[in-house]
Structure 1
């Protein structure tokens, strides 16, 4: 499946995308692998975050959905969580502010009593042809949302995450194969991979696991909202499978890493790239 040239204003919305991404709404079947668990997913309103929220709910987890301001998308994700019979909590706010990161965790504890799973997935990117084009403020904001928020969320969640907990960072194939026009984004994704590997070692004695997922080109609102139209049209064709992946195609990996079945999986980095190796 390919996509026509299109463009949106950041952060982008699912409803304006053509074709509409597949988040597993009609295909994901749960089997109780996360029964009784409580999850926080940032960037949970759309894209990978929505697919993970749907999967987690169908596996038996209650979900807090953190998002910036995409209320319509967030409500739609919450509807799917509730249709699965699980509790959905919506939390809008800008994760570039450390106080918002702490408030996300505080809200989860207020609603759930604990947090078993943290998925740090919210991300920002913009395309620039030269380094000089990148505004200082955009560099700072990209690092704040993509990388620093992961630190602040993790620091806030540790006191309320029991042994057996799982922290999952959304990295990217760009961390090892950086796209030059996405310099700040690629740098943050390398940072997430490195930080997660460090956390796996620091948190092992607490019984908390930390892993990351490295997606390749995935069809989410971030793409038409941050890339030129011609790049949107060819998006995904550069990988061996010659297409963009759908958010639903990552959900099972996030479920595995959150589940008790992955009790010896920590410090791992799982590539979901359509055949492009991570070196």
Structure 2
């Protein structure tokens, strides 16, 4: 595909008054691969649990996994219409979809969504820790203790708890894929709480890959650059949304569909010797 096929800034000014945001009000609409992703049987017979799978990157990964042959558990907060749309695409691919609403900052919910996935599918072959929370602040003093704690509990605390629970249902050959960010290496000062959790995720991934190697479970992460998802208009001011993506060499935001192949590769058996890696999908911006 031509790398210039997608919209470039300036984008229409827009802002959503709830977090996480919703897909329907976004202009332009994100591409999740609904019409473009074609599977080739790389995940046939596998069962995957994806957090934050109602929209954005999570939806794109769910669609790709289903078209590659996997059943998909869709973990999300409360965006029911978005989650149902993701489930529709999974089922259209001929795979099972399991909807799992709830707050992953709740410790019991982390255990419950893993248990429900294992009960429905009999196992968990692939875990994608993708759900995240962010807000933009101009100074450290603006960030409350509660805001800091919420960011850490959502982005890294839940990842730890869900992963720990999932390991009881994962066998040799299993794969864990975590969503970090370009912010792990090049932190945006306006996203300091979010960016620091993404650094923690990258470190967690590297350590866990070593810890689980003897069990035959691989752990990797994907580091997206600016990606056009509901998180953007719901957590950034309109002027930043308007110019979102202009800072990278490709001069545009990426679309969720453009990350799907990385998540498929890391989940597939073809990646049997890849563990502890970070795959950058950043529109040409290098990570160090």
* Global fold match (TM > 0.5): yes
1:11, distance to aligned residue in structure 2 (A) = 1.1
Corresponding residue of 1:206:
215
- Confirm whether residue 48 of structure 1 aligns to residue 57 of structure 2: yes
Corresponding residue of 1:231:
240
Secondary structure at 2:279 match in 1: strand
- Confirm whether residue 80 of structure 1 aligns to residue 86 of structure 2: no
Corresponding residue of 1:6:
14
Instruction: Tell me the matched-pair count.
Output: 279
Corresponding residue of 2:175:
166
Which structure 2 residue ranges, 5 or more long, are not aligned?
1-6
- Confirm whether residue 260 of structure 1 aligns to residue 272 of structure 2: no
Secondary structure at 1:102 match in 2: helix
1:158, distance to aligned residue in structure 2 (A) = 0.6
1:4, distance to aligned residue in structure 2 (A) = 1.1
Corresponding residue of 1:185:
194
Deviations 1:252-277 (A, max 9, x none): 00000000000000000000000000
With normalisation by structure 1, the TM-score equals 0.99
Work out which of the residue numbers 92, 97, 103 in structure 1 matches 2:112. Answer: 103
Secondary structure at 1:17 match in 2: coil
Deviations 1:140-184 (A, max 9, x none): 000000001110011001111010000011000001100001010
Work out which of the residue numbers 141, 157, 173 in structure 2 matches 1:148. Answer: 157
Corresponding residue of 2:3:
none
1:55, distance to aligned residue in structure 2 (A) = 0.1
Whole-angstrom distance in 1 between the partners of 2:115 and 2:147 = 28
Which structure 1 residue ranges, 5 or more long, are not aligned?
none
1:5, distance to aligned residue in structure 2 (A) = 1.1
With normalisation by structure 2, the TM-score equals 0.96
Secondary structure at 1:224 match in 2: helix
More deviation in 239-248 or 7-16? 7-16
Deviations 1:109-154 (A, max 9, x none): 1100100000000000000001010011110000000001110011
Deviations 1:42-85 (A, max 9, x none): 00000000000000000000000000000000000000000000
Corresponding residue of 1:275:
284
Corresponding residue of 2:80:
71
Whole-angstrom distance in 2 between the partners of 1:150 and 1:126 = 19
Equivalent residue runs for 1:26-37 within 5 Å: 26-37=35-46
Secondary structure at 2:113 match in 1: helix
Whole-angstrom distance in 2 between the partners of 1:61 and 1:74 = 17
Equivalent residue runs for 1:120-135 within 5 Å: 120-135=129-144
Work out which of the residue numbers 94, 109, 128 in structure 2 matches 1:119. Answer: 128
Whole-angstrom distance in 2 between the partners of 1:191 and 1:175 = 8
